Amino acid sequence: MKKKVLVVDDSAFMRKVISDLVNSFDKFEVITTAKNGKDAIDKIKNLLPDIVTMDVEMPEMDGITALKIIMKENPLPIIMLSSITKKGADATIKSLELGAIDFITKPSSIFKVNTEDTKKELLEKLEVASKIKYTKNSIYNKPIYKEKLQNLSSFARGSKNIEKIIAIGTSTGGPRALQSVVPNIPGDINASVLIVQHMPKGFTKSLADRLNSMSELEVKEAEDGDVLETGKAYLAPGDKHLRLKKSRSGFVISLEQTELVSGHRPSVDAMMNSIAELKIDNVIGVIMTGMGSDGAKGLEKVKKEKGFIIAQDEDSCVVFGMPKSTIERKVVDVVVPLDRIAKEIINAMEV
């Protein structure tokens, strides 16, 4: 039986294009369309779709406002359609925080709408969404909260004398998961945090800014040549690998637009491999929700260099692929729910 999809967009052209794409897939069919958030809420109540694709910016009621109401009243998997603008990127990060499962970047011109890349991306995200079961108590639509953790011993923030490197990799469901982990890491931690989140160019800056506003850590989108400092987190920019190198000034970030690694750029494996190559034993590797297996090979190498590996458990993942692949390699030290990852990082700091 085909999964029922509701397509929401204020553009009649986009409604037609997205509907045609969805209807070209064997497992999915569009049951109706809606032209704004208010229209979508009414149709969800009456027609009970399995999945919704929703534009972020619409008149009368935008996608963010509609998303809040839907997640409260009739939670279900929602894939956002976003423009690559500062406003669009900020709104997209907000939508993921509120419980949207993922997003697709709107093509920059009508000539790029029906490409194989768009079709492949939409199908992948619909298939992920179709496996998610929402309830009113689902973890996906619980509010994100910050838990006060006991402070570690104080030291001068911004030191290049780093005790540990915390390396985090994630994909589908990651922006929301990161908002449950990063803000719960104390700002006075004697470590630097490196993050790879599979996300296109134009969106990672908004995610870094949002994490920074929630956190005691200073969170920024990584720049080529950044020297790691304690109490700071560095998020790989979209479309660039983040690799770590050692120099006389300390640990230095190298951003590279080289070939895809494990199917991605930025890639978790690319980051973890570069860390393992430094042959340092003060690494805490964290693998969280995401489709596929990116990160598993790299974390195996980190483990061989005496790294400590934390994986998110299946129940709290949106997609268990990346943690599962890592666990199967028998390199994981602890498997914990999302809300315990920050505590495990702090426990590992004390080892």
Nearest one of 236, 206, 242 to 83, comparing CA atoms: 206
Q: Which two tokens stand for residue 160?
A: 């290049």
The contacts of residue 58 (CB under 8 Å, 6+ apart) are: 8, 9, 10, 35, 36, 37
Catalytically annotated residue among 39, 102, 180, 198: 198
pLDDT of res. 151: 46
Please tell me the predicted confidence (pLDDT) of residue 155: 42
pLDDT of residue 148: 42
pLDDT of res. 253: 98
In the chain, list all ranges with CATH 3.40.50.180: 164-349
Helix, strand, coil share (%) of the chain residues, nearest 5: 35, 25, 40
C-alpha 173/C-alpha 99 separation (Å) is 9
Pairwise CA distance, residues 209 & 115, whole Å: 31
Q: Which two tokens stand for residue 224?
A: 């080529």
Task: Let me know if 241 is a catalytic residue.
Answer: no
| Alpha carbon distance 54, 52 (integer Å) | 6
Model pLDDT, residue 4: 98
- pLDDT score at 62: 92
Stretches where the chain sits below pLDDT 70 are 108-114, 135-159, 351
Residue 139 in 3-state DSSP? helix
Q: What is the pTM of this model?
A: 0.91
Which of these is catalytic: 171, 192, 316, 325? 171
**Residue 198 annotated among the catalytic residues of the structure:** yes
Instruction: Name the residue among 321, 311, 315, 291 with its Cα closest to residue 139.
Output: 315
Residue 140: φ, ψ to 5°? -70, -25
Question: What's 71-111 look like in SS3?
Answer: HHHCCCCEEEEECCCHHHHHHHHHHHHHCCCEEEECCCCHH
CATH code assigned to 3-141: 3.40.50.2300
Catalytic residue among 90, 209, 269, 294: 294
Instruction: List the one residue out of 4, 62, 69 whose CA is nearest residue 35.
Output: 62
Superfamily of 164-349 according to CATH: Methylesterase CheB, C-terminal domain (3.40.50.180)
Query: pLDDT tens-digit profile of 71-125?
Result: 999 999 999 998 878 888 999 999 999 999 999 988 766 666 667 888 999 999 9
- In this prediction, residue 279 carries a pLDDT of 95
